[in-house]
Structures are given as C-alpha cells and as structure tokens.
Structure 1
Amino acid sequence: MYEPGTEQINCNGRLIELPTLEVVRPAPKMPSDANIDWLLHIYFTRREFTRCRRLIERELNRHLNPEYLYFVQGLIDREEGNHIEALRHLQKSAELNPRNIETYKEIGRTLYIMGRFSQALGVFREAEQRSSRQDHEIYHYLGELLYRAATTQSQKEVASQQQDEARTYFELAVQSGRKLESYVRLAELYRKDKQYQKAIEVLENCLHLTPENSEVLIEISVLYLKINETQKAHDRLAEVVSIERKCSPKGLLAFGAILQSRNDVDGALSKYSQIANAEPEIAELWNNIGLCFFKKQKFIVAISSLRKSVWLSPLNYNALYNLSLIYIASEQYASAFHTLAAAINLRKDNAECFMLLGLCLRKLDDLENAFVALERASSMATGQQGAGRNPLVVLNFALFCYETGRLALSTEQYNRFMSQAQDLLLPTEYKFQATKLKSLLRISNQGNGILLDSADMGESDVGQNRSTELLPDELPLEVNAVVSQN
C-alpha cells in the first residue's frame, strides 16, 4: 500500500523502497552559428517590430553574416518613418552582399519616399544593370521616376526623350509582371500622347487582373468617349453600375457626356446635378453644364457656368474655348476676344481659336488684325491632316477675303476648301455658304460632287454656328470637354 508523501510502499507486509527518479529536461540550446533569419522573417511579417529589434540586438554581435539583420532593421526603420536610419542600415546590407538586388530595390524605394528622385533613379539603374533577369518592379520604378522627371523638365526635347524612355520601361514592366499600377501609368502616357486606342488596349488587358475594378472601367469609358465610341462607353459604365450600384462622379460625368452627345440635354443635366450635390468643385462639370444650357439657348446661365469652370481651372483650354464660343453667340465680342486670347496662350497651334479670334475682330471693326488672325488660322488648317482637318476655317477666310475685296485670295481659299472637303460629308450650312461664294466669285463647276443643291436658308454667320453642326470625324464639343486635355 502506497502512502502519499513517503518513498516506501507496503507490499504483502514488506516495505519496499521506491527508487528516486529525476527527469531533467534542459531547454534546447541554439548553437552560436545557427541561422535565425527564418525567425526574424516571421516576426517581421507579423509586424512584431519590438521582438525583431530585440532579436537583432542579440544576434548582431555574434552573427557570422549580419546582412539580413541590417536589411530587416532598415525595413523596420522605414516603416516607423526613420528614413535616414533605414537608408544607413540598408546600405550596410548592400555592402555586405552587393549582388543582392532586393537590397538595391529597397534603397531605391527609401530614396523615392524621401523625395530624392534623382538618387533613386541612379540606384534603380544600377539595380537594372546588376539584375540577371527581368524585374517588373525595377522597370516600374524606372518608368515612374523618368515620367516624374519629364513633367518637371524645362527643356522640351529632354522631357520628350524622358517620357519616351518612361513609356518603354512601363511596357517592359507590363510584359515581365502583372502589376496594376504599371498598366495604369502606361495607359496614362498613351492618353497624354493622344493614342487613345492603345490606352484602351492596355486598360482592357488590365481588366484581366481586376475584372471588377470600377476605376479602370470608368477610365476605359472616358477613353471611348475620346474616340467618339459612345455605345462602348455606355456599356462599360453600365458594368460599373452593376458592380457598385452607385457610380462615382467621374462615371456620372461620362454618363452625362454620352447623353449630351445624343442631344438628351435634360438627362445629362440630371446626372450633373447628382455630381454637383456631392462634389461641386469640378471644373469639367460646370463646363458641361454650361454647354447644356447653351443648347437650350440660355446664354446667361451658360456663361455663368463656364465662368465658374474657368475660375476652378484657369488653364482649362476647353472651358476657355467654349466660353468664347458662347460669348460670340450672344454678341459679346469684346469678352470673347479676351477669352480667346487666354485660350490661344494655352494652345498656340489651334486653328479654330484663331478663326474665332478673326471673327471677333471683324465684328469689332478691326479688319486688319482680323485678316492676320484668319490668315494664320487658314495656314494652320492647311497643314493639318486626318481628324484635325477642318475646312470651315478655310471657308471663313475665303468669305472674309471676299467681303474685304481680296477676290484673288478668296478664290484661292475657296479652291483650297474644295480640295480639303472632297472626302468629307459636310453640313448643309457649309454647302450653302460655299455655293453662295462660288456664285459670287463666278467659279466654274469642277465636278467635285460636294456642293449639292440645298434648301433655302437664311443668311447666317458660319463661325457663330460652329457648335451646332460638326464634322463626322471630329469629336462633339461636349465629349471633348468631359475631362481636361492632358
């Protein structure tokens, strides 16, 4: 019988001594040269920075290769906002192992966060040279830094070269990795170069990564509006509504532009009113609202809306151009002149601005300067090809030359108008004015097949009705103004 607390047991009347057993389980000792990088990595991924620091301090003096210790210490310092210490520790890690590309990438990221972009660019270029494989992160940051440098570059040629190089790196980033930011940046560069179709292709490929990304879908719809594909834009916006049930202000703005292009002014205004209640400080919103009221022939409200758009974004070319157009329609020629002067300062190569400026000066009885403006507009329009070609500029100059007695020059401009308009379907008003000028100049019919018989129309100014009839290969004015031109 066993009695608790004793070391003996009574068995059949005999006392038996129990053997004393000592079971010792000592804690396992880690050898001094053991690699604890795995433990440090676990602590870091859990964001247990205090344990990481304690482990680094303990192992730093006796560790045979403290490269990873310095590397993690630098990442922790950067997470805590101590960028200088982070840079110092990462540089120590790079000195211990110059072949580790990840260390160079983290040094470049730290310099990028610190705003030292030129040094970051140099680090990422060195990482590109040392890397034995294609690394989409290196390509992305190189493109990002070159694009930033191009936007701040004062020399136009250097900026253009840097932008082209940035686009090349973003293309490499898209080819070697699947990173959303690279797709978005590449599409932004294509859009800036007015290569809207390529931008759409890039964003469509981006949808394979994030099929329900509403921002990408809205951007695709806006780009479709840029190339006048309103139905495709509407389909993409419908997907956004089905995903979120509530469209963002940018999506509502695109919806309104589609309705404007279909002459549904009231429907567009209803969309814009939803944006105005949530985010009223959007320049493009008031630009489009002004154009809606312009179609309703409510000039005062249209001018007020466009003036607010200009106040919100003084360098918005579309708002300035549209405001000058409404000033001309409401016969406020002096105000139109000042607004056009501001627009021309932004776009010195726009023929339509000079055409409207010439019409304003003609109404202000400054015929000499009106001739100079219209002549310059005609020379610009003659050099344009493709979608940028607008025979209306040349026709207005021909009419002005006839009014001022320059018959030979008027005949020359009329012939130029005919050559430019051969393969275009012109609005009836253009045909009427051209037919009238042809009869006044007594030009024989060359059989171009453009000037068809038109119904009787009252005499009207071609320039003032610029927004009511548009060439089929030109974007409608409202769609042009959905977003500011970059």
Structure 2
Amino acid sequence: MSDGGTGAGSNDDKVVNSNDTDIPVRQVERRMIRTSKAPEIPPFESRNWLIHSHYMSKDFDTCRSLIVQQLAETQGMCEYAQYVQGMVLRQEGRIQESLDSLQVASRLNPQNPENLKQIARSLFLMGKHKTAIEVYSSALELIQNRNPENKDWEILHNQGICYARLGDSSAAKNHLKKAIEIGQQHSSYMQLGRVHLEEGNIEQAIAVYKEALAISAEDTELMTTLGLLYLRNNKHQEAFEYLGNSLAYSPTEHKAILAVGSVMQKHQDHDVAISKYRVATLSTPESPQLWNNIGMCFFDKKKYVIAVSCLKRSWYLAPFEWRIAYNLGLIHLTIRQYASAVHFLRAAIGTNPRLGASYLLLGIALTHLNEQSQAKQAFEHSLTLMPDDISLLLNYSIFLIKNADSKSALYFITKFESLITSVSLKTLDPELVKMSGQLSSILHSGLPDQQEVAT
C-alpha cells in the first residue's frame, strides 16, 4: 500500500496548475528563465549609447559617422540621433542646419522639452530673441504639465537674457530674479548685475554681486567685478579690498591685476604697475588690454621704442580696438613720426568716430605734414565733439595764427582764457598756461611760429 507519496515523485516535487495537471518544478523554473529575458532594444535606438559616449568625449567625427549610419537605417526617424546631430552642428557654427535637425527631433517627440530648449538656444544664437522666448515658454509648459511643481531655472535665465537683448530690462530682471530663486546660479547673478549696469544703477549691481558672493565666497570673478565697480564709484578702499581678495585666491587673475596696475599707473607708479602686469602675462599672454597698459607705462617712462613694440602687439591681438590705435597715434606724434601718427589716428577714428581727441591729434599731425586744409577740417570736427576742451582751443588758436587768421585765433584764445579762469590752476598742465601767455603776445606782436601742444 502506498504511504501517501514519500518517494521521488511525491507532491514535494510537483505543482498543481489550474487544470490539476502535475508539472515538474524544474520545468516551471526553465519556463520562467525563458520568459524573464531582457527585452531587446529596438534597432533604431541601438546606437544611442555609443553616439552619446562619443558626443560627450567631443569625438565629433566618430559621432557624426554613427549618426549618419543611424539615420540611414531609420530613414531619419531616430529622435536622439537628430538631437545630437543638431548639437554637433551648432558646435561647428552651422546654426541654421542645427535648428533644422533639432526641429526634426521635436516633431518625432513633441513631448520632450529638451528638444524645445535647444531649438530656442539656436534661435537665440541667430538673433531671433522674441521667437526664442516663445519656444522657451512652450518647453516650460511641457515641464509643468507633467508636474506643476517642476520649475526650470535655466529656461527662466535664458528668457531673461533674451529680454535683455530686446531692451526690455524690466522683464529681464523679473525672469532672472525668478531663476535665482530657483537655482541661485552664478550665471544668473552675473547677468542680473549686467542688466542693472546697463540701466546705470551701479549700487544695485553691487548689491546683486554681494548677494552672489555670499553664496560663492571664493569666486574670484565676483570679487574682481565688485572691485572694478567700486573703482568706478571712486571708493578705492573697498575696491582694493575686493581686488586684493581676488588676487589672494588667484594671484594670476588678469582682470584684477589690470585693475590694480591701472590705478598704480594713474598714480605714476609705473615700475610697480609693470611688475604686476608681468605676472599677468604668465596666465594671459594674449591679452590686448594687458599689452596696451604695459605699452603706456613705458610711454610715460619715455621708453618709446619698447612702448611702440608693446602697443603693436596689442593692436595685432585686437585690430579693431580704437583705444590701442589712438595710443599708437599719440606715441608716433610724440616721437615726430607724423605719417605713422596719421595712419593710426585715422584707424582710431574709423572704429570710434565720436572721439574728439583723435581729431585733435590728427589735426596736429597733418599740420606738420603741411596738409593745412585737412588739418583745419580735423580741428573743426573736433570742435563739434568737444567745443570746450582747453587743449583743443589752444592748439587750434596756434594753427590759426600760423595760417594768418588772427581774428579767429583771437576768438578761440579768448574763449580759452575764459574757461581756464573757472578751473583750478593746480589741475592745469603748466605748459598750457605758459602757451596761453605766449599766444597773447603773438596776437599783439604778430610773431608767427609756435609749436602745438597736445595732452
């Protein structure tokens, strides 16, 4: 008689299904193993990880090759390949083609806000700021449709920049403040400060940067920016405090060195300024502003050859910077290389036609080249830009005397004398005062030949 199933085929090794059919446990296990196999990745997504890997490592050639294969196999229907293709094209500066690829990716998956964010970025780079704002708003709407509590600081930040470019400072500040409330990102603070500066509100910009510095206490860019703003407000103690802190954290911070060096240069401490600038050249040897300042230090030390060399290096690095061309014109005028002076001064005028001092120096240089009619035009144009400049009035009076126009010269020298009576003699160049006395005697005695003097 059976004992109720104590052998190898007992109930311990069997299960009962819904139809009361005995199935061995091992067969169930094998069936479970077969059914729990990981799902296969669809072919059109199979290379996504590899595309992503090469894109993140900036191996754009391999990335582009993989994208071409992926899009060929899927007839262009792979969202991620289209997205990365758009990003690579933008890195290469092909903004319109980038926009086209990103728009295809968005059509393939209209619910992905990341596609819209990158479309808006490409529109921003194309200068279509109003359209970019609208696309950013659509991306934010998608994000909040999934979860109303979700907020994207990056979208608000970028919308703030777009509004700033459109000149709507109120909307720009509103969006940037919202971005700061969410993310407290360095870039949002910096951009909000710039908006305040564009409005001419330096104090409010300082307050914003101080708030940012309270969060990022070792941010040398913020320290340097605050130092520069305090310099603009003539608060030198606070300026040097922030600039000094910046240099303490980063001794080669070239903006801070430029600021400190320029103050020393202004106070005629040229050797110390040059030593500071020398440190900055170690980290930023290709800074045109740095070489411009070094050149002007040597100019003040009357070392004209090395000054010209430094300034020409600066001009090579920034050929459209009017200040460098102006300084080269000034130095060549000082060393009596008048043709070169005219060349550089005309270059300065070409990039900044509203600077009256350039026309003044040009007039002096042209006078020495016996181009009297052109010199007169330069002086007169300078008068329209700075009619009460005492150096201009004096130089133009001398020019008129040399060209036998004593009546006009008397008018301008009289205007010159009336202006200097309201100016402290301590702030005047002694040479200008001396020349004004000589002019009075010239106008009465008829002596013709005097040298021009320029500030």
Per the TM alignment, residue 434 of structure 1 is displaced from its structure 2 partner at its CA by 3.0
Q: Specify which structure has the higher proportion of helix.
A: 2
1:437 corresponds to which of 439, 449, 452: 439
Map 1:37-436 → 2, pairs under 5 A:
94=110, 107-112=116-121, 117=126, 121-125=130-134, 128=137, 137-145=154-162, 162-165=165-168, 167-178=169-180, 179-188=185-194, 199-226=205-232, 229-244=235-250, 246-382=251-387, 390-418=389-417, 420-421=419-420, 423-425=422-424, 426-429=427-430, 430-436=432-438
Provide the secondary structure at the position in 1 that maps to 2:216: coil
Per the TM alignment, residue 460 of structure 1 is displaced from its structure 2 partner at its CA by 6.8
**Residue type at the aligned position of 1:221:** G
Q: Is the 8 A contact 1:320 1:340 kept in 2?
A: yes
Per the TM alignment, residue 416 of structure 1 is displaced from its structure 2 partner at its CA by 3.6
Partner Cα distance (1:391, 1:319) in 2: 24
The verdict on how the C-alpha distance between 1:343 and 1:421 changes in structure 2, with shifts beyond 3 A counting, is same
The verdict on how the C-alpha distance between 1:238 and 1:398 changes in structure 2, with shifts beyond 3 A counting, is same
Q: Is the 8 A contact 2:333 2:341 kept in 1?
A: yes
Provide the secondary structure at the position in 2 that maps to 1:280: coil
Q: Is the 8 A contact 1:135 1:176 kept in 2?
A: no
Per the TM alignment, residue 221 of structure 1 is displaced from its structure 2 partner at its CA by 2.7
Per the TM alignment, residue 219 of structure 1 is displaced from its structure 2 partner at its CA by 2.6
**Residue type at the aligned position of 2:121:** Y
Per the TM alignment, residue 378 of structure 1 is displaced from its structure 2 partner at its CA by 1.3
The verdict on how the C-alpha distance between 1:278 and 1:209 changes in structure 2, with shifts beyond 3 A counting, is closer
Partner Cα distance (1:241, 1:278) in 2: 13
Q: Over residues 263-317 of structure 1, what are the superposed CA-to-partner deviations in whole Å (9 max), with x where a residue is unaligned?
A: 1111111122222334322211211111111111111111111111111111111
**Larger RCO, structure (CA 8 Å, separation 6 or more):** 1
The verdict on how the C-alpha distance between 1:416 and 1:118 changes in structure 2, with shifts beyond 3 A counting, is same
The verdict on how the C-alpha distance between 1:227 and 1:367 changes in structure 2, with shifts beyond 3 A counting, is farther
Q: Is the 8 A contact 1:203 1:220 kept in 2?
A: yes
Per the TM alignment, residue 231 of structure 1 is displaced from its structure 2 partner at its CA by 4.1
The verdict on how the C-alpha distance between 1:251 and 1:435 changes in structure 2, with shifts beyond 3 A counting, is same
**Residue type at the aligned position of 1:279:** T
The verdict on how the C-alpha distance between 1:76 and 1:228 changes in structure 2, with shifts beyond 3 A counting, is farther
Q: Which has the larger displacement, 199-208 or 128-137?
A: 128-137
Partner Cα distance (2:417, 2:15) in 1: 108
Q: Is the 8 A contact 2:363 2:376 kept in 1?
A: yes
Q: Is the 8 A contact 1:358 1:374 kept in 2?
A: yes
Partner Cα distance (1:196, 1:438) in 2: 46
Q: Is the 8 A contact 1:105 1:127 kept in 2?
A: no
- Identical aligned residues as a percent: 24
The verdict on how the C-alpha distance between 1:113 and 1:380 changes in structure 2, with shifts beyond 3 A counting, is closer
Q: Is the 8 A contact 2:160 2:176 kept in 1?
A: no
The verdict on how the C-alpha distance between 1:120 and 1:315 changes in structure 2, with shifts beyond 3 A counting, is closer
The verdict on how the C-alpha distance between 1:287 and 1:22 changes in structure 2, with shifts beyond 3 A counting, is same
Partner Cα distance (1:116, 1:248) in 2: 29
Partner Cα distance (2:311, 2:340) in 1: 13
Partner Cα distance (1:299, 1:183) in 2: 43
Partner Cα distance (1:352, 1:369) in 2: 16
The verdict on how the C-alpha distance between 1:305 and 1:258 changes in structure 2, with shifts beyond 3 A counting, is same
Q: Is the 8 A contact 2:227 2:238 kept in 1?
A: yes
Q: Is the 8 A contact 1:108 1:121 kept in 2?
A: no
Provide the secondary structure at the position in 2 that maps to 1:207: helix
The runs of 5 or more residues in structure 2 that have no matched partner are 17-47, 51-77, 89-97, 445-449
Q: Is the 8 A contact 2:102 2:118 kept in 1?
A: no
The verdict on how the C-alpha distance between 1:120 and 1:328 changes in structure 2, with shifts beyond 3 A counting, is closer
Partner Cα distance (2:434, 2:316) in 1: 39
Q: Is the 8 A contact 2:298 2:306 kept in 1?
A: yes
Partner Cα distance (1:112, 1:274) in 2: 38
Provide the secondary structure at the position in 2 that maps to 1:432: helix
Q: Is the 8 A contact 1:381 1:394 kept in 2?
A: no
Per the TM alignment, residue 436 of structure 1 is displaced from its structure 2 partner at its CA by 3.7
Q: Is the 8 A contact 2:156 2:175 kept in 1?
A: yes
Partner Cα distance (1:117, 1:337) in 2: 38
Q: Over residues 402-431 of structure 1, what are the superposed CA-to-partner deviations in whole Å (9 max), with x where a residue is unaligned?
A: 332323322332344355556543414233
Provide the secondary structure at the position in 1 that maps to 2:345: helix
Q: Is the 8 A contact 2:129 2:166 kept in 1?
A: no
Q: Is the 8 A contact 2:82 2:102 kept in 1?
A: yes
Q: Is the 8 A contact 1:76 1:86 kept in 2?
A: no
The verdict on how the C-alpha distance between 1:228 and 1:313 changes in structure 2, with shifts beyond 3 A counting, is farther
Partner Cα distance (2:337, 2:199) in 1: 35
Across the two proteins, how many residue pairs are aligned to each other? 362
Partner Cα distance (2:261, 2:363) in 1: 32
CA RMSD of aligned residues (A): 4.2
Q: Over residues 75-133 of structure 1, what are the superposed CA-to-partner deviations in whole Å (9 max), with x where a residue is unaligned?
A: 99858969888755655665x7xxxxxx6576133441587746775253255499799
The verdict on how the C-alpha distance between 1:22 and 1:75 changes in structure 2, with shifts beyond 3 A counting, is same
Q: Which has the larger displacement, 223-232 or 366-375?
A: 223-232
Q: Which has the larger displacement, 196-205 or 250-259?
A: 196-205
The verdict on how the C-alpha distance between 1:291 and 1:363 changes in structure 2, with shifts beyond 3 A counting, is same
